[in-house]
Structures are given as C-alpha cells and as structure tokens.
Amino acid sequence: MLDIAPDDVPGAGAERRIAQSRTVGASASAATVKAAGAAQRVRVLFSPFTNTTNPYIDIVKRVLSHVGYDVEPLSARGLFRGGFAHLFSSKTVLVFHWLELRPFRRKGTRTLLSPVGCLIFAFYCFVICVGRAKVVYFVHDHAVHDTVGLMRRLSMKLMAFVRGLADARVVHAPTFEGKYRARYLPHPLYWDVPGYEATPRASDDIGAADTARTSGPHGSALDRQPLFAMLGTIRPYKDLAAVLDVWPQECRLEIAGNGSADYVKTLHDVMDRRALNDAVTIDARFLSDQEFEQRISRTDVLVLPHVADSMLVSGAFFEAIGRVPMLISRATPFMVWAAKKFDNVLLFDRIDQLPELVRYAQRNWLDAARQDKRALATDEFGWVACCREYRQFFDAVVSGTLATDERSSFN
C-alpha cells in the first residue's frame, strides 16, 4: 500500500511531534469541552487517523479539536463495531485525505494497482453514499504521484469520483478553488504549533557569513557559501535528475530523504557524468525528526523543483517558509501565488533557468537571511490563522450554509 501522506515532507520520526501534540491537544480539548458546556459537539470521523511519517494529519486533527470538534478514527473496524450509527447522524462529518491512494501500491519507481486497496477504496465510497453525515474531501494532488499513461488517467478519474461524492472539498492552493469547486484553507505551518519548538538557526550565522564574505579571495569565503537543499522523499515527480543535469558545479547541494535504490542510482549516474560529486551529496534514507530539524535549520536555500501537474502544494514549503532565508521553486500556480506574498521565493518556468537563479541566490542569500519572515508566514499559515479558517469552514459545512458553488458536483 502507498503511504497515506504527502510525499515531499521528510516528516520523519514524527513521534516527538505526535507525543507533544497529544499532551497539548488533550489540554486544548478539555478547555474547549468546558467552554461548550452541555452543548452537543459534532463528531469528525477522520481518515487516515494516524501517520507516523508526517505530522500534517496530526496537526489538522489538533486544529479541529481545538475549535470544538470531537475527532475520532474512521476505519472499517470501528464502523463494524457499532460506528455505522454515526454515519446517519447530522452531527457527524467524515473527513478524507488521499483516499485516491488506496487502490495503488508502489514497486520501486512504478505505481501499480492493488486489489486489496481497490476493495478498501470501494468500501469507503459505499460508506460515503449510504450515510447522512456530511463529507469533506481534501484535494492534495492532481493525480497519484509517479503514475503514467492508463494508471495516471485512472487515478484522476478516481479523484474526480470522490470529489463528486463529497459535500465539500478543500484545497491548500487558492488558485484551484474554481477548478475543484473547493474552499481554500491554509496548509498549517509545521513549525507554528503549540508545544512544538523549531530548531533555531545559529545566532552568529549571519555575522559569520558576513565575515566570510569580506575576507577576500584568499580568505574563508568558500567556507560560508550558502547551502542549497532538497529535502523529502526522493521521487521522480520532483524532477531531481533534471535538476542535477543543470546544477552549477560551484554551488553546494544536499539531497536528503528516503528513495528507491534504482532512482537514487539514476541520480548518482548524473552526478558522475557531470562531475558533481564534490558539490552534491545524496543521503538516501529515512530522516528522523531531529535530523530533519538539523538540516532545515542549516539550509540557506531550499529548492522545490516538483513538476507542476503532480500536486497542488509542496509540504516542504510549509516546513521552510519563515525559517529558510530563500526558496527556489518551479512556477506552479501555488508558488506563483506565494511569490507575490514572499519576496524571498524565486521562481523558474523551465529547468534551464534554474542555474541562473541558483547563482543569483549564491550572491544574495545574505540579504534575505537578514529579513525575518516568520510573522508574515504565521499570518498566512500559522496556528491562529488555521484555527480561525477551519472553524468557519466546518461550521458552515455542519450548518448547511456553505456556498452553493462549493457543494457536491461530479467534476
């Protein structure tokens, strides 16, 4: 089975984040229950309910709990143990993420059909059809990652089918509200969650870099060149081989995350051909939470080359924005929108434009590092913003006051 999680977030070792969230989340839920008094709370049945490789699911559950909803697992086992009654209650909302991944499984770099997964997918579609509960479907992707030909077209059909069954859809990219007849809700920042402490950048980081910059050609300037990084699962839909094919030999790049051996070998072959082994390193393994924090905190420029027809947003963006001085990204619709709000986001349309942007960042990253973007990031995607927006949306779903153009339609 495919992991039910966005693939570009390294997210590894989310155990620490989850443990923190349980403690803080429990306190928040208790406070909410006390404030609500005897009022009946709406039950949210959530799928998938757990994910140990990515904190996104846990954060969204915490947001919903914090704003007054009872969040419980949605599973076949729970339904067969009496949970079916909840499907016929107007005080129940079903929430689905990545349901379209269920019918598929990965084998190396290939994505194939899974008979068991197809049955699970069909079961959940049946649950949606027979119940009276409201259904909210989060649209994360345009198609299942790394599918081609018939498999890609099938994945898109399945996604359209689920969108049509849902009472409401959510996107994290505002430019796709119209296409998917959805409501934009901000993707939470991974680092702006109560109880979570992001690893700070070294306090003398900019000063040391300034010293290196002014030390002249015979000094230590090369010791403080910016570190470029591509963090997260190492997958073909990120176009990493094309990036290495044009990467400037004088710029340092780290690639880190879990990846299949055959695709990693492809990347090493490109590095050998272009003599990049002194500039580029690949750490192809599952990163622990602590390891990822260390990497993101020392990254000066994050590179997001994801192909535009794969997913709506990159989860790594929400790990980096407000923390990493500069980001370089392919000009996907969401990133074009983000670049208008954050002047430290640089965009390229074609892969042959990437070297020029990388060299520009090499020269100018210090200026970006002196600007604190944390407040701007939290205003857009932070905990407070998410709680406000999610509360308004889910209250409208439950009350039936959601705008007509956001309600169910086969599209």
Q: What is the mean pLDDT of the chain?
A: 86
Share of residues in the chain with pLDDT > 90 (%): 68
Check pLDDT > 90 for residue 138. Answer: yes
pLDDT of 39: 56
Kindly state the average pLDDT of the residues 202-206. Answer: 52
Tens digit of each residue's pLDDT (9 = 90 or more) over 387-406 = 999 999 999 999 998 875 55
Instruction: Characterise 400 by phi-psi region: left (phi > 0), alpha (psi -120 to 50), beta (else).
Output: left
Q: Which of 198-207, 333-342, 351-360, 393-402 has the lowest mean pLDDT?
A: 198-207
pLDDT of 34: 44
Check pLDDT > 50 for residue 33. Answer: no
pLDDT of 80: 86
- What Cα–Cα distance (Å) separates residue 33 from each residue in 39, 69, 71, 213, 404? 9, 9, 13, 56, 31
Instruction: Characterise 189 by phi-psi region: left (phi > 0), alpha (psi -120 to 50), beta (else).
Output: beta
Domain spans, the chain? 15-188+382-406, 205-379
Position 210 confidence tier, pLDDT thresholds 50, 70, 90 = low
6 prior amide bond cis, ω within 30: no
Domain range 15-188+382-406, CATH architecture: 3-Layer(aba) Sandwich (3.40)
Q: Which CATH number fits domain 205-379: 1.20.210.10, 3.90.470.10, 3.60.70.12, 3.40.50.2000?
A: 3.40.50.2000
pLDDT of 21: 46
Q: Which of 14-28, 112-126, 154-168 has the lowest mean pLDDT?
A: 14-28
Return the higher-pLDDT residue of 78 and 38: 78
Q: How do beta strands 227-231 and 252-256 pair? A: parallel
Structure tokens at 230: 């591509």
Tens digit of each residue's pLDDT (9 = 90 or more) over 312-349 = 999 999 999 999 999 999 999 999 999 999 999 999 99
Check pLDDT > 60 for residue 153. Answer: yes
Share of residues in the chain with pLDDT > 70 (%): 82
Same fold, 15-188+382-406 and 205-379: yes
Report residue 396: phi and psi, to 5°. Answer: -70, -35
pLDDT of 216: 44
